[in-house]
Structure 1
Amino acid sequence: MSDKMNVESFNLDHTKVKAPYLRLADIKTGEHGDTIHKYDMRICQPNQGHMAMPALHSLEHLLAEMSRNHSDKVVDISPMGCQTGFYWAMINHDDYDAMLELLEKTLQDVLEATEVPACNETQCGWAASHSLEGAKEVARGFLAKRDEWTQVFA
């Protein structure tokens, strides 16, 4: 890999990172001064593990809904196609420690959830593909390694 690519994560050496972690991946500034901070929430070690799709899908719904109970700065939470984590887009939110706290609070909410939000054919494009227990298992595992979240590289 010699040429820099347009996508930030394509320039990241996935063989050198050590999941789990939360990494500030990019900052974009809009024409009016607003900033978008994109965080890489890596749950599984790249090329060694991945989340099962029903668990990932449910965790996406839970994170998207529950994170907004703790912050009005959440723009989007998007699953990675490789199924190893999520991207969090935050507007005008440049406090990494507060981001860690937001993530922790949201994952604690996931553990207390009794249902997956918007898990029906009216509100979801593939409502049959969900697992609340799978999402909780992923959240539990990530929370158990809370002290590792700030260390991105091995």
Structure 2
Amino acid sequence: MDKIDSFKVDHLNLLPGIYVSRKDFLGTNCLTTFDIRITRPNFEPVMNTAEIHTIEHLGATFLRNNSEFKDKVIYFGPMGCRTGFYLILSGDYKSKDIVELLKDMFRYIIDYNDEIPGATAKDCGNYLDMNLSMAKYISKKYLNDVLNNINEKNLNYPD
């Protein structure tokens, strides 16, 4: 079988950032998949499932309620390697097009102090696996270290 494109990215030189992972077409509608890389693969510790799960719940809630993007969000969820998230938007986008959206999303997580949306047995298959404090810590680190200082090396995959 052919190696899929995401396995062709040099993960030894991949920095935290926002990358266009792929673009797919359904008819004439473009779907842009973003690689939202939170930790540096194979250099930094991966995120634990509790904080990933919390960021997923809060991030999805924020994105699906965002006035500009709510009707464009197809999917937001974690990578299996636990170094980041995928965001799929309906539309033809570049990485820089969603920097402000992600800044707002991570600020929302940092400032969040209520019950986590969907964190009940009725609403979620693993509702006890949540860690708001660590989700806030990771979000603040990503916002300060990456999003607030974003540049081309954090917006384009390494060669």
What TM-score do you get using the length of structure 1 for normalisation?
0.89
| 1:112-151 matched pairs, under 5 angstroms | 112-114=111-113, 115-145=115-145, 146=147, 147-148=149-150, 150-151=152-153
Counterpart residue number, 1:110: 109
Residue 47 (str. 1) matches residue 42 (str. 2): yes
> Following TM superposition, by how much is the alpha carbon of 1:149 offset from its aligned partner in structure 2, in angstroms?
5.9
CA separation in 2, counterparts of 1:79 and 1:36?
Answer: 18
Counterpart residue number, 2:93: 94
Secondary structure of the structure 2 residue equivalent to 1:136: helix
Structure 1 gaps of 5+ residues are none
Cα shift readout 1:85-125 (whole Å, capped 9, x = no counterpart): 00100001425333111111111111121232101111111
The residue type paired with residue 35 of structure 2 is D
Distance 1:65 1:150, change over 3 A: farther
Contact 1:22/1:149, CA 8 A, preserved across alignment: no
Distance 1:95 1:17, change over 3 A: closer
Contact 2:52/2:135, CA 8 A, preserved across alignment: yes
Cα shift readout 1:59-104 (whole Å, capped 9, x = no counterpart): 0111111112221211101201110000100001425333111111
CA separation in 1, counterparts of 2:35 and 2:124?
Answer: 24
Mean Cα deviation higher: 42-51 or 90-99: 90-99
Contact 2:74/2:90, CA 8 A, preserved across alignment: yes
Contact 1:21/1:150, CA 8 A, preserved across alignment: no
> Following TM superposition, by how much is the alpha carbon of 1:17 offset from its aligned partner in structure 2, in angstroms?
1.1
**Paired residue total:** 149
Distance 1:35 1:60, change over 3 A: same
The residue type paired with residue 12 of structure 2 is T
**Residue 22 of structure 2: which of 22, 26, 48 is its match?**
26
Secondary structure of the structure 2 residue equivalent to 1:151: helix
Contact 1:22/1:150, CA 8 A, preserved across alignment: no
Identity in percent: 26
Residue 60 (str. 1) matches residue 56 (str. 2): yes
Please report the RMSD computed on the Cα atoms of aligned residues, expressed in angstroms: 1.8
Contact 2:23/2:92, CA 8 A, preserved across alignment: no
Q: Which runs of 4+ in 1 moved over 6 A?
A: none
